Amino acid sequence: MLSYVPPMSQRGVFYGWVVVAAAATVVGAGLGSLFSLGVFLKPIEESTGWSRTSISLVALVNWLAMGVGSFVWGVLSDRWGGRAVAVAGSLLLGLALVMSSQAQALWHFHAAFGVGVGFAVGAFLAPLTATTTRWFTTRRGLAVALVNSGIGVGTFVVAPLARWLTTTWDWRVAMLVLGDLIWLVGVPAALLIRNAPGEVGASALGGAATAQRDFSTAQVVRAPQFWVIALTHFACCAAHSGPIFHMVTNAIDQGVAVMAAATLLGVSGLTSIGGRIGCGLLADRVGAKPVLVAGLLLQAGTIFAYLVAQETGTFYALALVFGVAYGGVMPLYALVTREYFGERVMGAAYGGVFLVSTIGMGLGSFAGGFIHDRLGSYAWMFLGSAAIGGMAILMAMTFRAPRAALRPVAAGSAPAGSTAG
């Protein structure tokens, strides 16, 4: 058990919000570094002579390694706590970025950035989301959404920084600096993360003692509901990853000016932050399932609307709505996982769900390019993505209340939530 932090009644400030801020910072730094590959793609191609396809394959390796890492780190976070995992992941991420900056052969880059960066980043979103859920009862949706919003903020900050460093020096220096910044920013932020003070109990933090479902990791993986949640997340990510990854090139193909098209991804990224926070707040009021179904419906409809988009204004409007939709649904999978499996194995459960979803992210991005190269148009990608998004809606509607027996948690024996903040 990591060091105890007195509750709000003793400190005046509920430490759960410090955990949220620290977790969002770590998540933003990590995911921002991973997504910076898109900024480095062309400079790497020009300086090394490696093909764009070969470099782009690193993105797929990233997602697969991140998915495996999410599960492994999630299991470890259940044992050691979120702080230990976040510190270890930050140290490894900084090392992987530094090693990537020195890669001389393509396979070195695949190993360092593809596997190393991807696996290290897996230590952040799923494990730290699990840690955050243990701190809150009444505002859990908002807290999880804020941690998840670190992705949008991190991408918005790190991508321009990587571009500036590359323009000023070169991609190797830029990647080296990012690795150093992870050590300077990510590690100290990770040290602020604490486990919820479980020995205090819910009543001591102002909440009611809750009931928990006592699952083992093996029982989680064998549970049908785990696979329903995971496959819904998979379909959701497979549906939106292609339209996100190919958003700019599709707009250019439709006659949108290059600079205007380049800003579309930024617009959707910024509005995704609002979607995450808004859906988190709604989930606190009406529950995660109805908000998830509504978000998936909005996502599928927006993807379908891209089939008729041709004007610049239309693309901006769709980017705005699409960002709200795909951003809004992402934190909700952690909430439904927590509702079903409880908090004791939340790291392993959500890590497993996230592992399955990353496969959808990688395949969706790859399929979009494959379909375009074979058929000469993104139309079939949008049709297929909308159809897969419809499947996600149907699966989400099957989510049901847990049937597993509940065991009461006595005050002082389990992590507690809070009504603070």
In which residue ranges of the chain is CATH 1.20.1250.20 found?
11-197, 214-401
Assigned architecture for domain 11-197: Up-down Bundle (1.20)
Tens digit of each residue's pLDDT (9 = 90 or more) over 47-84: 898 876 777 788 788 888 998 998 899 889 888 888 99
Is pTM, for the whole model, over 0.85? no
Give pLDDT, residue 212: 52
In single-letter form, the type of residue at position 190 comes to A
CATH class, 214-401 region: mainly alpha
Tens digit of each residue's pLDDT (9 = 90 or more) over 331-370: 899 889 888 888 778 888 888 898 899 889 888 877 887 8
More confident of the two residues 388 and 219 = 388
Query: Above 70 in pLDDT, residue 33?
Result: yes
Tell me the pLDDT band of 206, cut-offs 50, 70 and 90: very low
CA 14 to chain centre: 25
In single-letter form, the type of residue at position 149 comes to S
Category of 238 on φ-ψ map: left (φ > 0), alpha (ψ -120 to 50) or beta: alpha
Which H/E stretch holds residue 183? Answer: none
Tens digit of each residue's pLDDT (9 = 90 or more) over 363-415: 887 788 788 878 888 899 999 999 999 999 999 999 876 654 444 343 333 34
**What are the tokens at 160?**
């321009």
Give pLDDT, residue 421: 41
Category of 2 on φ-ψ map: left (φ > 0), alpha (ψ -120 to 50) or beta: beta
Give pLDDT, residue 52: 64
Q: Backbone phi, then psi, for 124, in 5-degree steps?
A: -105, -70
Give pLDDT, residue 349: 87
Say if CB 19 and CB 193 are below 8 A apart. yes
Give pLDDT, residue 256: 85
Query: How would DSSP label each residue in 324-387?
Result: HHHHHHTTHHHHHHHHHH-STTHHHHHHHHHHHHHHHHHHHHHHHHHHHHHHSSSHHHHHHHHH
Give pLDDT, residue 229: 94
